Amino acid sequence: MLKSGKEYLDSLKDGRVIYIGDETVLDPTTHPAFDRIANTYAALYDQKKAPENIDLMSYEEKGERFSTYFLKPRTQADLEKRTRAHRFITEWSYGLLGRSPDATASNVTGMAMKPTVLEDNDGGFPEHLSVLWEHLRTDDIFLTYAIVPPPAARNPQYYQSKGIESPTLRVTKEDDAGVTINGMKFLATGAAVANEVIVGNILPLAPDQAAESITCIIPFNLPGMSLWARKPIAEDVKYEFEAPLSFRYDESDCMLVFEDVHIPWENVIVHNNAPLSRDVFIKSASHVLSNHQSNCRFHSKMRLVLGMASMITKATGAHDVPAVRETLGRLAAMEAGFGALIDAQIYAHEQLTEEFVLYSRRYMYAGLAWAAEHHSALLDTVRELMGGGVFQFPASINLVRDPTLKTMFDKYWSTVDDASVDRMKLFSLAWDLVGSAHASRLQSYEKFFVGPVFSIRNYSYINAPWDEFDAIVEDLMQQYDVPDFTN
């Protein structure tokens, strides 16, 4: 069943506990820190269901419709449909929602496309995965993930040497009904406004960390579970005009804390198998399917960045200066190249199993690495093109309430081509993209959401056909020999 925006908002009133400092939030839909982003997602649920979008954004199976991002691709056409659906969402949200509902749904769909990863190993529960995936798509669940141990808690020996228990999440008890978990998980983007979370491990665990390998899909309202939010950004924005991106897209990041939380077996995907907890992401289609979405999102963001670079330079009058045109041309080439890299993932797809196909792994990881390395430089280019223009504007648009100030504002801040208010609107948006607290949080997000850049490069390393590359050099070297010095 495809949820409406209202049904989505109602589903968030589930009794979850969120802490903002010493404040307890029980309903994110009515709290100023989270109500705006909740409404953004609600609008997305309505868009997805709208008659003009329903064919693209959902598919039919056995008489029921499910969101396209739960589609297990069997053909290139299925991959294209998934990509178009991701692009619909990322264009609609300008590439600014890291954890839109299509992101983590793709993780679980990718796992369900290759359950043999779980079947072939002790501690894997493929039958639970299949039921959980069915539940996610049937109930149109917005899922997020927390799949990293907290910083500074990744070395158990260090804690043991100090006689302290590491705060990282682990199973502490097991019974017929399930497992009990204690500890903390880093860092669930979107948690305040998502329905459920997949808890697991994307970083490798040592063999003796089996208790930490717990991988499960759970709601946020389990007794003993709490969400610890970072400082919210949206609630400080008084007028959308002044910081529209902070206003709409502050998606929240929460640490998840578990104190004697009981997880029923049917929610568990991996238990007591350290390598498997990572393999279920990496060796299935999970990581590739979900990060193809990340690539689409980044491309939409690049398109916003290019539009901003163009509009800002028009506003400053620098647009047609040859050096500025060259900068814009360089940005345009990057954007086109990145777009082609996404299309290439479809055309160079791989046959994952007899039944299913998957985007090209290598091209997807190339996109991830490029994005993580270039995001800051792209935004810095826009900042440079802006000059100091943003700082010329008054502290708040509320000055227009005062007729005298408004007259002065119009007189001094308007240009021949643009009214003062329109110029302030453009520069405020640009600042929210490159300089505000929201922009700064996104800068860290783009650097780290898949893990640090060295780990992203490692994915490219392990998937490269090194034998093929080596053979090219060997073949070339076989074509000539040591010179004959005998005569």
> Binding residues for ligand FAD, how many (CB under 6 A)?
20
Binding to ligand FAD by CB under 6 A, coded x per residue (else -) over 310-349, reads ----------------------------------------
* C-beta of 141 vs 147, nearer to ligand FAD: 147
Binding to ligand FAD, residues 46-105 (CB under 6 A): 99
- 391, 454, 480, 485: which one binds ligand FAD (CB under 6 A): 454
Binding to ligand FAD, residues 150-179 (CB under 6 A): 151
> Does position 253 bind ligand FAD by CB under 6 A?
yes
Per-residue HEC secondary structure of 334-348 comes to HHHHHHHHHHHHHHC
Q: How far apart are CA 227 and CA 168, in angstroms?
A: 15
Tokens of 120: 């072939």
Judged by CB under 6 A, the stretch of 35-43, 330-338, 438-446, 461-469 that binds ligand FAD is 438-446
- 445, 457, 458, 460: which one binds ligand FAD (CB under 6 A): 445
The nearest distance, CB 375 to ligand FAD, in angstroms, is: 12
Q: Please, what is the angle between helix 361-386 and helix 286-316, to 10°? A: 20
* C-beta of 188 vs 341, nearer to ligand FAD: 188
Q: Which helix (H) or strand (E) holds 264?
A: strand 253-264
Judged by CB under 6 A, the stretch of 45-53, 127-135, 145-153, 344-352 that binds ligand FAD is 145-153
> Does position 145 bind ligand FAD by CB under 6 A?
yes
Q: How far apart are CA 209 and CA 409, in angstroms?
A: 63
* C-beta of 19 vs 445, nearer to ligand FAD: 445
DSSP code per residue over 142-155? -EEEE-BPPTT-S-
- 347, 417, 452, 470: which one binds ligand FAD (CB under 6 A): 452
Facing residues of 174 across strands? 179
* C-beta of 187 vs 352, nearer to ligand FAD: 187
Task: Reduce the DSSP state of residue 64 to 3 states and report it.
Answer: strand
Tokens of 242: 């002044």
Tell which residue, 307, 300, 315, has the closest CA to residue 386: 315
Specify the residue for token string 């504007």: 393
- 44, 96, 112, 148: which one binds ligand FAD (CB under 6 A): 148
Neighbours of 232 (CB within 10 A): 22
* C-beta of 213 vs 327, nearer to ligand FAD: 213
Judged by CB under 6 A, the stretch of 86-94, 157-165, 182-190, 388-396 that binds ligand FAD is 182-190
Strands of the sheet containing 215-219, edge to edge, are 143-146, 196-199, 215-219, 268-270
Tell which residue, 17, 110, 118, has the closest CA to residue 72: 110
Tell which residue, 336, 339, 309, 337, has the closest CA to residue 324: 309
* C-beta of 255 vs 312, nearer to ligand FAD: 255
Q: How far apart are CA 208 and CA 60, in angstroms?
A: 45
Torsion angle of C-alpha atoms 440, 441, 442, 447, degrees rounded to 10:
100
* C-beta of 352 vs 433, nearer to ligand FAD: 433
Binding to ligand FAD by CB under 6 A, coded x per residue (else -) over 183-222, reads ---xxxx---------------------------------
> Does position 146 bind ligand FAD by CB under 6 A?
yes
Torsion angle of C-alpha atoms 442, 448, 450, 456, degrees rounded to 10:
130
Q: Which residues contact 355 (CB under 8 A, 6 or more apart)?
A: 72, 74, 113
- 444, 462, 464, 470: which one binds ligand FAD (CB under 6 A): 444
> Does position 449 bind ligand FAD by CB under 6 A?
yes
Judged by CB under 6 A, the stretch of 76-84, 181-189, 261-269, 333-341 that binds ligand FAD is 181-189
* C-beta of 77 vs 152, nearer to ligand FAD: 152
Binding to ligand FAD, residues 390-419 (CB under 6 A): none
Tell which residue, 160, 185, 174, has the closest CA to residue 211: 174
Judged by CB under 6 A, the stretch of 121-129, 163-171, 391-399, 449-457 that binds ligand FAD is 449-457
CA distances from 270 to 104, 376, 449 (A): 17, 36, 23
Judged by CB under 6 A, the stretch of 211-219, 335-343, 381-389, 440-448 that binds ligand FAD is 440-448
Q: Is the peptide bond before 71 cis (omega within 30 degrees of 0)?
A: no
> Does position 228 bind ligand FAD by CB under 6 A?
no
Judged by CB under 6 A, the stretch of 106-114, 308-316, 361-369, 442-450 that binds ligand FAD is 442-450
Judged by CB under 6 A, the stretch of 8-16, 304-312, 325-333, 450-458 that binds ligand FAD is 450-458
DSSP code per residue over 234-258? GGG-S-GGG-HHHHHH---EEEEEE
Region for residue 15 given its phi and psi (left: phi exceeds 0; alpha: psi -120 to 50; beta: otherwise)? left
Interface with ligand FAD (CB under 6 A): 99, 144-148, 151, 186-189, 253, 441, 444-445, 448-449, 451-452, 454
